Amino acid sequence: MKSFIAIRDFVKKWDEQIVDRNSNCRFKCLVNYNSSNGTTTFPSKATIIRSGYDDGKVSLEEYGEVVSEKYHLDFSANCQDLEFDDTTNSLIIKGKSAKMGTYKVQITPTP
């Protein structure tokens, strides 16, 4: 439930700039990815599903060497820990996997 509250707070902050007519969120963003494999920052486009079966799904587009074979680019509020950072107005995703080790992804909308 905590992760869904984080998404709610994030969407509330950015509502007019990121929410489409179907109540899903689609926006350009800057992503800071920190994992056991290192740190990388890259521009991307994000989608956050806010209704139906996939509610709470967060997806990032691939960029350069940041591809799904090397990085997690799809996340779920049911599987990862999400937080809203009200200092940076970013969505933070934390998790752990065999592929990435411990990871933290910071997503910040950009104009």
Domains of the chain from N-terminus onward: 2-109 (2.30.29)
pLDDT for 55-102, tens place per residue? 999 999 999 999 999 999 999 999 999 999 999 999 999 999 999 999
pLDDT for 22-55, tens place per residue? 788 999 999 999 998 899 999 999 999 998 889 9
Give the integer Cα–Cα distance in Å for 43 and 79.
24
CA nearest neighbour of 64 among 92, 97, 31, 36: 31
- For residue 86, how many other CB atoms are within 10 A of its CB? 10
